[in-house]
Amino acid sequence: MTEPSSAVLLRVHPLGEADVLVVAHTERWGKVRAAARSARRSKRRFAGGLGAGAVGAAELHPGRGGGLWRLDGFVPRLDHGAMGRDLDRFAFVAYLCELTDVLVEDLHPEPGLHAALEWAIGVTLEQPPDAMALRRYELALLHHLGLLPSFDGCCVCGAPTAAEDVPFDATRGGALCPSHGRGAPSQHGEVLRCATALLAGESVELSTPLRRALRDLLRAQIHGHLRTPLRSVELFAHLGRPRTAAAADGAP
C-alpha cells in the first residue's frame, strides 16, 4: 500500500450514483484526477467528507493506462468550518483552488508549490482573510510556471532599476532600466520590492493604492494565461461590500 500524500482537493464532482470525481493537488505527484468509489456512502474512508478546498492526507493509487486514479481515503488536516461561516474565506479558498486547477498541468510534482498552496489556504482559514496571502500564492504559482516577470533588475540588461517610477512591461519580461524602458508604462518601485519580498516569504505592509497596484500587476500576468474567466472571480464580484479592509483588495 502506498503512503498517503499531502493533498488539497481542488474540485469535487458527483460521479454516477455514489462515486465522486476529485481533482487534487498532491505533494508527491502534483495534480491528479481520481475517482472516489462510494464516497457519498462511506463514512469510514471519507470521515470528514470530500469538499473543494479541503487539505489533508489522501490515499491515492495510479489509474491503469493513464486513466483516472483511485482515491481510497482522505483524512482532513485543517478545520474548514470557517469557510462555511465567512464568504470572504470561502471566495479566497475557491480562488486559490481554481487558479491551481486551471494553470497547473497534471502529474508535474512541485512540492514547493504544494507547500505554498497549503500555506495560503491554512492562513486564510485560521486568520482574518488577507489578500496578501493570495498575492503570495499567485507569485509562487507564476514562479513555478516559469511566468514570473523580473521585479528587481532590468529584464534586458540586468542593470538595477530606479527606486521610484520603474518602467515595467510584462510582455518584454518585467522591469526595465531607464535606457531600455523608454516609453514603457511605469510601476511604483515599492510594489515591485513588495513582490520580491512576498516571494521570499517576508511579510509586507502596503498602502491600499499600492496593494491594488500589486493585485492589478499580478492579475494582468495571470489573465494572459487563462483560456476562460475564473468562476471564483465572478463570485468575488457578487460578494459586494463592505468586507474587512485586509480582504477588500483581494478580488483578483
Where along the sequence are the contacts to Zn ion (CB under 5 A)? 154, 156-157, 159, 177, 180
- Which is closer to Zn ion, CB of 181 or CB of 252? 181
Q: Tell me whether strands 5-15 and 55-61 are parallel, antiparallel or unpaired.
A: antiparallel
Q: What are phi and psi of 186, to 5 degrees?
A: -110, 155
Residue least distant from Zn ion (Cβ): 154
CA angle (172, 174, 178) in 5-degree steps: 90
- Which is closer to Zn ion, CB of 78 or CB of 155? 155
For the CB of residue 150, give the shortest distance to Zn ion in the complex, in Å: 10
- Which is closer to Zn ion, CB of 113 or CB of 154? 154
For the CB of residue 177, give the shortest distance to Zn ion in the complex, in Å: 3
For the CB of residue 78, give the shortest distance to Zn ion in the complex, in Å: 45
| Residue 29 backbone class (left: φ over 0; alpha: ψ -120 to 50; beta: rest) | alpha
For the CB of residue 159, give the shortest distance to Zn ion in the complex, in Å: 5
For the CB of residue 151, give the shortest distance to Zn ion in the complex, in Å: 14
Say how many CA atoms lie within 13 Å of 188 toward its Cβ.
15
Angle between the 111-126 and 87-103 helix axes, to the nearest 10 degrees? 170
- Which is closer to Zn ion, CB of 6 or CB of 161? 161
Taking alpha carbons only, the member of 2, 4, 22, 3 closest to residue 12 is 22
- Which is closer to Zn ion, CB of 154 or CB of 222? 154
